[in-house]
Every structure is written in structure tokens, then in C-alpha cells.
RNA sequence: GCCGGAGUAGCUCAGUUGGUCAGAGCAGGCGAUUUGUAAUCGUCAGGUCAGGGGUUCGACUCCCCUCUCCGGCUCCA
């Protein structure tokens, strides 16, 4: 009997040849919790799969992200098996784990209903009780094709993987891959076995999986959705079921609880409750009204950016909301995005106008208002420009995806040698902005490179610009990823994303290099050589869309804005009508320092007045009664933090004035 | 745009198999109460049940169309 040696950390063990991963882990005393799979020389490995001689083995625990992904992938298989049982003839596409869960796509006669989800869940629970083993098996391409003879989507995946095309289709690659041995691709399938010779189901899959179906501690199916096969609009629409699975009932419940809490932070809900914004149906889809309180918050944002822009050497401009259609023809927007622009306005004299979807052509016209010299560069033109884009009906989402929104837009015209500095300046500007508004680290910074197919500019231009953007990211200290082929047709870009309450990522900041507009508009400047040259152009919007940023911020703060941003900063609450006069004095002292304050002189009970201040998330409630009036103090009840009594009025005024002047975004510790 | 779900007072919701079922709480008006830290009491007013067709003796309820919203997919200059 031959033996093998396996390693874990600084331990080794000698085992019989053919020993499985779990046997190895036990021999290595490397089992300290709920294990779903192993990592063998870096590769994820089924627990009952034999390990090679000399392997280094680590456990993958259920309560780690890798472990959960394996668990979820296995639950996706069980769901597909349940669907196959309940909906004969269903074709399965792919079912990978995703962040916080998994999904599986099916081609079925009729879409799933919410009731179907319950039936599927119930069936899955039965399958789990059957203690089905997940058994790995290797097949040749032909064997795999035969096994999935009646599963066209599986066959397509097999063909594409065999042709080496799976890399272009990252999602398919997560559900199947093929190792090439002796020039032939080897596919793996996982059979769900009720017993040694009783097969329940089989799926094409790279694995690994949990050993057995009863090792699913907690799962739940969440929702159904349509999804295009291979994510392409020209492909059939499949029916997707999303679910989630966790290492324990407790972890599942915590996740569901978190989702429930997140739904309460929805900016549309908070915006209505706090009377910040309004989306009346009469107005039109994707259009928002900022109510007075929302407008106050927005003004803080606008005031901040207006002041910063001037401090950083930009020059403000103002431009109209419409322009002749020809302008959009020259810019190329009509050609490239015509369907996403609001329809034209035909005038009696035969001319046509369009609402602006971007501000750049206007800023270019500003540039071209006179002959430019290299001494003018970089020229940074800035505007809070409101644009209108006819977003497709299914994508409109409150203020996160609107049809009318305002960009803190700027276009920087510069020489080639100035691009890196300018982009670095933009990123630093963005950093300061996230800092000021308390959003913390962005969820994602991405450099997007040249797209396949239509794009303008030379390879050398793209390479130089992409390099400039990456260097700027590095200089700024942001960790960034490269999104291959995700650039705009006219140039590469840096995007900064943040998450909303339910975890969706939204692009806020965008910084883009443009090769085409200077050319299309025949822009030039006179160089120090006396010859005309073409300037480079950087588009940049830091909030991105004021509306979107506002929404992300609103959700991030759960409606409780930092004092400097809060629409109402102080609610003065007299304990009885007799103390309204002193309350007014308190308010006057605060107003003198620019604090937004309101005296609650209603005849509500004290408790209710406090409650109104709390539910409106006003940063401070100041309770005033006889004690306070006599001693010229206030009782401070902050929205978050500890209550304090007998705070001298002058001290509180200084405190809050400083807090606002410093634009503090964190709740200060109680002194 | 595609797939699914939803739309009853300003808000959150209840309305059994089509037959006084158009209701409640909060918010709002008015009156009483004058309060020491998250809901005082009473009273009044509010809805073409998203809109438009249809089926029926009768439609919030069933069918069709449109609009809007929600969750996905696709898209996002």
C-alpha cells in the first residue's frame, strides 16, 4: 500500500494513497468548525475527493466568504433539482453563487409566481432530508454533450468552454470550466445521489460542493426576476430565482433582518417621510421636486462645490438647457445616444432643438468664444448643469436614476503634458468631497479601458490616457480595479462608486479623457511655437449627479444628516407656553450665528414635541423651562448622543456654530 | 425596452367567494388641555378605490388596454 504525505501549516501527516481531503484534514488536526470544503494547493476541493501526494491542505469553513459561496452554489443545485421535479421540461442555464446569495436561471413555459417559490422551497427541504451526496465525476466533451442532450444551455456552455471562450463569459466560467489534459478538455459534473445507485439529479459544474444535501444549515428563496441568457438582450429571457444560504439559522436571520432595515433606509421612503423630495406622478417618470427641506440640503452641497471649484482654479460658466439639434450632431451625441435623448422640438421655421443630455458642447463653445493660447491652458470651466436623458422605463429609480438631474460638471482643456496633473487634481478633489460629506471610502474605483468595437482615437492615444488615469489613481492612493473594455467610445475614464442601502453600486464621480470632441469641434490653441495645436479635454463630475449623490447620502445617513447639512439644525422645545419667549431668545441667539432653528410653540405635550424633533431627525432638541430661563441655559437632547442639562446658552451656540463651521460629519463624543 | 409584482384619503394599511365595505391609525382643521425629555383628549373634514374600456341587474373586487411605482435583466455619454 503506497502512502502520501500532506501538509497543513507546519504539520505533516502520512496517509494511505487515495485518502480524501477530509481524512487528510482530520489527520492534520485542522478541523475546528463547520467545514464545507478544502483548499488543496490553493484550489478548492471537495472533502471526499482524494488528495495528491505532497499537497498543502487548508479547511474552508462555512462561516467564511469562500465557504458560504460553496454552500450557496450547492443550494443552487438543490434548487434546480427542485425546479426540475416540480416543472418537468424546465431547462437549466447557470446557477452561480453571488454576493450574499445565489441564483439559478431556468427556461420554463410560464414564469414562476411567488407561490411557486414556496413550493420550490418546500421541495428543497425534502431533498435536503434525503441526504443526497454530491458526487464529482470527470467527463470528456462528448460524454458531457451526451449527458446533457436535452439541456441546450448546458450544451452551449460545454461548447463554449471547449472552444476556450468561457473567459469572455465570466458567469458561465464560474459554473463550468475544463481542464485540458492530453489536448482534450475534461469537464466535471456533480451527481446528486440518494444512495450509491440512486441518482436524483446531475449538473455540469466546476465545484466544489458540500458533501451532502443535509449539510445546509439555513436557506431562503428571495425573489424571481427575468434575466437574458448570457446577459445579452438578443438572447432569450430566462426566469431567474434568487436565494440565499448561510452557515446558521442565526446568520440567515441576521441577513434577512439587515435587508429589512435597509429597505427602511430607501431614499424614496426617507425623502417622503422627511419631506425632502417629492415624485408626483403628474410630473413625469424620473423627475423629482426638491421640497424646501431637501433644497436646503442640496444648497449646502452646491455651496460647497461652488466655493471649492473657485478655490481650485476653475471658472464658472452658465449655459442653456436646450440647443439646436445640429450641435448634438456635431458632438456625436445624436448619433451615439439619440434614442436616449428627449425627442426634438420642431420649430415653425424648420429648425429643431433638443434638451441637453450633457454640458460638454456648451463648454466647448465657451472655449471657442475666442482664440486660445497655450497660456490659457489648462482652462477649467465649471457649471452645475442640469441635463435630461430619456432613460428607458425599466431603469428609472427615484433620484438614483433620474431623467432630469444636475451634474457638477466641468471640462478641463489642456495640453497633453498637463493631463496627468489635471486628473490627479480631480481625484484629490473627489477625495476631499467624499471626506466633507462623510461618505467614507468609496465601494469601488475603476479605470475603464478601450471598448471593443466602436471607439475613436489611436491605440497610442488610448494607451497614454489609460496610463495617465492609472497613474493618477496610484498617486491619489485609491485602490482601483481595471474594467477592461468599459470605457466610453471617446476615451477611458475613472469612475468612483458607492453603495445604496440595499447594497447596489452607483457611479458617482466620473473623470473621463476625451479624444473626439476637440476634433469634432475643431478646437485649437496657439502653442509657444506660434502654431495651432489641438487641446486635450477631461470631463469630470465629482458628485456626478447631485440627485444621485443626495440619495446615496440620505440612505447612508439613514436620514440623520450631519448638523451642517441638516435642513433644520435645532428644535427649541419650551416645556410650556410660558417659556416660549425664552425659547425665542434662544432661537435668536442661534440664528445670529446662522443656525437653522425652529421654536416649537405648538400646544403639544413636551413628550410629543420631543418626539417630533426625533422623528424629523433634527440634530438637536433644546428643552427650555423655568430652570433654563432663569440661568440662561438649555437642556440639550441631541438626535444621537447623551442628553445634557444646564448647558449655558452661549456655550451651546459656540459649540454648534463650530460644529457647523467645521462641517463635522461624525457625532462628537459627549464632553 | 424585457420578465415578474404592485397601485384603496397627504402617509401606513384593512376591505371575506362581485351585493350599504368605502374603513382605521397617523398627518391636517377646530376646540379643550399648559405639560420637564419619543405619541393628551374630543371633534370635523379628506378618496371618480391610478386612468380608460369591457363583462354583469350590480365591479375596489372579474377581463383587456394605458400610466406610475417596486425588484431583477439589458443599458447608463
**DSSP letters of A105-149?**
EEE-SS---HHHHHHHHHHHHHHHHTT-EEEEEEEEHHHHHHHTT
Q: Nearest nucleotide (C1') to the CA of residue A614?
A: B38
Same domain assignment for residues A182 and A135 = yes
A562 in a structural domain? no
Query: Pick from A187, A103, A207, A106: which is nearest to A152 by CA?
Result: A106
- Where is the domain boundary, A201, A228, A260? A260
A6: CB partners within 8 A, 6+ apart: A12, A13, A15, A19, A24, A27, A28, A51, A53, A54, A55, A56, A57
Annotated catalytic residues of A are 360, 389, 407, 409, 411, 493, 539
A355 in a structural domain? yes
User: Quick check: A111 CB within 7 A of strand B?
Assistant: yes
Same domain assignment for residues A541 and A583 = no
Beta bridge partners, A642, equal none
How do beta strands A101-107 and A237-246 pair?
antiparallel
Cell numbers standing for residue A157: 456552455
- DSSP 8-state secondary structure symbol assigned to residue A491: B
- CA of residue A124 to C1' of nucleotide B22, angstroms: 43
Q: Nearest nucleotide (C1') to the CA of residue A501?
A: B71
User: Which bases of strand B have any atom within 7 Å of the beta carbon of a protein residue?
Assistant: 1-5, 11-12, 32-40, 67-77
- C-alpha A393/C-alpha A403 separation (Å) is 10
Give the CATH number for residue A87: 3.30.980.10
Q: Nearest nucleotide (C1') to the CA of residue A626?
A: B36
Same domain assignment for residues A584 and A608 = yes
Same domain assignment for residues A551 and A613 = no
For residues A129 and A214, the answer to whether their CB atoms sit within 8 Å is yes
Same domain assignment for residues A133 and A237 = yes
- Where is the domain boundary, A260, A286, A313? A260
- C-alpha A171/C-alpha A96 separation (Å) is 7
Same domain assignment for residues A191 and A327 = no
pLDDT of residue A534: 96
- CA of residue A120 to C1' of nucleotide B4, angstroms: 17
Which chain A residues 573-602 have CB under 7 A to strand B? 575-578
Same domain assignment for residues A25 and A78 = no
What's the ipTM? 0.95
Same domain assignment for residues A73 and A220 = yes
Q: Which residue is nearest to nucleotide B72 (CA to C1')?
A: A225
Dump pLDDT digits (tens) for A274-286: 999 999 999 999 9
- Where is the domain boundary, A510, A526, A556? A556
pLDDT of residue A87: 95
Q: Nearest nucleotide (C1') to the CA of residue A331?
A: B77
Same domain assignment for residues A645 and A522 = no
The cell 462645490 sits on which residue? Answer: A305
Same domain assignment for residues A502 and A611 = no
Cell numbers standing for residue A500: 445604496
Asked if the bond preceding A208 is cis, omega within 30° of 0, the reply is: yes
Instruction: Show the beta-strand stretches assigned E in A286-388.
Output: 289-290, 315-316, 322-324, 345-346, 352-355, 379-388
A266 in a structural domain? no
pLDDT of residue A670: 47
Same domain assignment for residues A316 and A415 = yes
Q: Nearest nucleotide (C1') to the CA of residue A617?
A: B38
User: Quick check: A264 CB within 7 A of strand B?
Assistant: no
pLDDT of residue A177: 79
Same domain assignment for residues A516 and A427 = yes
A502 in a structural domain? yes
Q: Which helix (H) or strand (E) holds A419?
A: helix A419-436
- CA of residue A655 to C1' of nucleotide B34, angstroms: 31
- C-alpha A586/C-alpha A623 separation (Å) is 10
pLDDT of residue A646: 96
User: Quick check: A638 CB within 7 A of strand B?
Assistant: no
User: Quick check: A645 CB within 7 A of strand B?
Assistant: yes
Parent domain of A586: 570-661
User: Quick check: A140 CB within 7 A of strand B?
Assistant: no
A219 in a structural domain? yes
Give the CATH number for residue A580: 3.40.50.800
User: Quick check: A519 CB within 7 A of strand B?
Assistant: no
User: Quick check: A548 CB within 7 A of strand B?
Assistant: no
Give the CATH number for residue A352: 3.30.930.10
Q: Residue ranges of chain A with pLDDT lower than 70?
A: 1, 165-173, 667-671
For residues A248 and A112, the answer to whether their CB atoms sit within 8 Å is no
- CA of residue A120 to C1' of nucleotide B23, angstroms: 37
The cell 426576476 sits on which residue? Answer: A225
User: Quick check: A268 CB within 7 A of strand B?
Assistant: yes
pLDDT of residue A432: 95
- C-alpha A119/C-alpha A114 separation (Å) is 9
Give the CATH number for residue A26: 3.10.20.30
Q: Which helix (H) or strand (E) holds A651?
A: helix A649-661
How far CA A631 is from CA of A328, A541, A650, in Å, comes to 67, 51, 11
pLDDT of residue A667: 63
User: Quick check: A226 CB within 7 A of strand B?
Assistant: yes
Query: Pick from A362, A325, A320: which is nearest to A345 by CA?
Result: A325
pLDDT of residue A671: 43
Q: Nearest nucleotide (C1') to the CA of residue A240?
A: B72
pLDDT of residue A169: 67
Report the domain count for chain A. 4
Query: Pick from A154, A69, A71, A82: which is nearest to A122 by CA?
Result: A82
Instruction: Show the beta-strand stretches assigned E in A264-420.
Output: 277-278, 289-290, 315-316, 322-324, 345-346, 352-355, 379-388, 404-414
Amino acid at each position: 500500500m503506497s502512502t502520501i504525505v500532506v501538509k497543513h501549516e507546519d504539520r505533516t501527516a502520512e496517509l494511505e494513497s487515495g485518502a480524501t481531503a477530509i481524512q487528510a484534514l482530520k489527520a492534520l488536526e485542522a478541523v475546528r468548525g463547520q467545514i464545507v470544503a478544502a483548499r488543496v494547493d490553493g484550489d478548492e476541493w471537495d472533502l471526499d475527493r482524494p488528495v495528491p501526494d505532497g499537497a498543502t491542505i487548508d479547511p474552508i469553513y462555512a462561516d467564511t466568504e469562500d465557504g458560504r459561496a460553496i454552500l450557496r452554489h450547492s443550494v443552487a443545485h438543490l434548487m434546480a433539482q427542485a425546479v426540475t421535479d416540480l416543472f418537468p421540461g424546465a431547462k437549466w442555464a447557470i446557477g452561480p453563487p453571488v454576493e450574499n446569495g445565489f441564483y439559478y436561471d431556468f427556461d420554463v413555459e410560464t414564469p414562476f409566481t411567488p407561490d411557486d417559490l414556496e413550493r420550490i422551497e418546500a421541495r428543497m427541504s425534502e431533498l435536503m432530508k434525503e441526504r443526497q451526496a454530491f458526487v464529482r465525476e470527470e467527463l470528456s466533451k462528448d460524454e458531457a454533450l451526451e449527458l446533457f442532450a436535452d439541456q441546450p444551455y448546458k450544451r452551449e456552455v460545454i461548447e463554449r468552454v471547449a472552444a476556450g471562450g468561457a473567459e469572455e463569459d465570466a458567469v458561465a466560467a464560474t459554473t463550468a470550466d475544463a481542464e485540458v489534459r492530453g489536448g482534450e478538455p475534461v469537464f466535471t459534473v456533480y451527481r446528486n445521489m440518494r444512495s450509491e445507485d440512486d441518482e436524483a439529479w446531475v449538473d455540469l459544474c466546476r465545484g466544489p460542493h458540500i458533501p451532502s444535501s443535509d449539510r445546509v444549515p439555513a436557506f431562503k428563496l428571495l425573489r424571481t426576476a427575468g434575466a437574458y441568457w448570457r446577459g445579452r438582450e438578443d438572447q432569450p429571457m430566462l426566469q431567474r430565482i434568487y436565494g440565499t444560504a448561510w452557515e446558521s439559522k442565526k446568520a440567515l436571520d441576521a441577513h434577512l433582518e439587515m435587508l429589512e432595515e435597509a429597505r427602511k433606509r430607501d431614499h424614496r421612503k426617507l425623502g417622503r417621510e422627511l419631506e425632502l423630495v417629492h415624485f408626483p406622478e403628474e410630473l413625469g417618470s424620473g423627475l423629482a421636486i426638491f421640497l424646501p427641506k431637501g433644497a436646503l440640503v442640496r444648497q449646502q452641497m452646491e455651496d460647497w462645490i461652488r466655493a471649492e471649484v473657485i478655490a481650485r482654479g476653475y471658472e464658472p460658466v452658465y449655459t442653456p438647457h436646450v440647443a439646436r439639434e445640429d450641435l448634438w450632431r456635431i458632438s456625436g451625441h445624436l448619433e451615439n445616444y439619440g434614442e436616449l435623448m428627449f425627442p426634438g422640438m420642431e420649430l415653425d421655421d424648420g429648425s429643431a432643438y433638443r434638451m441637453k443630455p450633457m454640458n460638454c458642447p456648451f463648454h466647448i463653445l465657451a472655449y471657442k468664444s475666442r482664440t486660445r493660447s497655450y497660456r490659457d491652458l489648462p482652462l477649467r470651466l465649471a457649471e452645475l448643469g442640469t441635463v435630461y436623458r430619456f432613460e428607458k422605463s425599466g431603469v428609472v429609480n427615484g433620484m438614483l436614476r433620474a431623467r432630469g438631474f444636475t451634474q457638477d460638471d466641468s471640462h478641463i482643456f489642456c495640453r497633453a503634458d498637463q493631463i496627468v496633473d489635471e486628473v490627479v487634481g480631480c481625484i484629490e478633489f473627489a477625495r476631499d468631497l467624499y471626506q466633507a460629506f462623510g461618505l467614507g471610502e468609496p465601494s469601488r474605483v475603476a479605470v475603464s479601458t478601450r471598448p471593443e468595437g466602436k471607439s475613436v482615437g489611436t491605440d497610442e492615444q488610448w494607451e497614454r490616457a489609460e496610463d495617465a488615469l492609472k497613474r493618477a489613481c496610484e498617486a491619489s492612493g485609491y485602490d482601483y480595479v481595471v474594467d477592461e473594455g468599459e470605457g466610453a467610445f471617446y476615451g477611458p475614464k475613472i469612475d468612483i462608486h458607492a453603495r445604496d442601502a440595499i447594497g447596489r453600486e452607483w457611479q458617482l464621480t466620473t473623470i473621463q479623457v476625451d479624444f473626439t470632441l476637440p476634433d469634432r469641434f475643431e478646437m485649437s490653441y496657439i502653442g509657444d511655437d506660434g502654431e495651432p495645436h489641438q487641446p486635450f479635454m477631461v470631463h469630470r463630475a465629482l458628485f456626478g449627479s447631485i440627485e444621485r449623490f443626495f440619495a446615496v447620502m440620505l440612505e447612508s445617513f439613514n436620514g440623520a444628516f450631519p448638523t451642517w447639512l441638516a435642513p433644520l439644525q435645532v428644535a427649541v422645545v419650551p416645556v410650556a407656553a410660558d417659556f416660549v419667549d425664552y425659547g425665542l431668545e434662544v432661537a435668536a441667539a442661534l440664528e445670529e450665528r446662522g443656525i437653522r432653528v425652529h421654536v416649537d410653540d405648538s400646544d403639544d405635550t413636551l413628550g410629543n414635541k420631543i418626539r417630533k424633533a426625533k422623528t424629523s431627525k433634527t440634530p438637536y432638541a433644546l428643552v427650555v423651562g423655568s430652570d433654563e430661563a432663569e440661568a440662561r441655559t438649555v437642556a440639550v437632547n441631541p438626535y444621537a448622543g447623551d442628553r445634557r442639562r444646564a448647558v449655558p446658552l452661549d456655550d451651546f451656540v459656540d459649540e454648534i456654530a463650530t460644529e457647523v463651521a467645521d462641517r463635522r460629519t461624525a457625532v462628537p463624543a459627549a464632553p
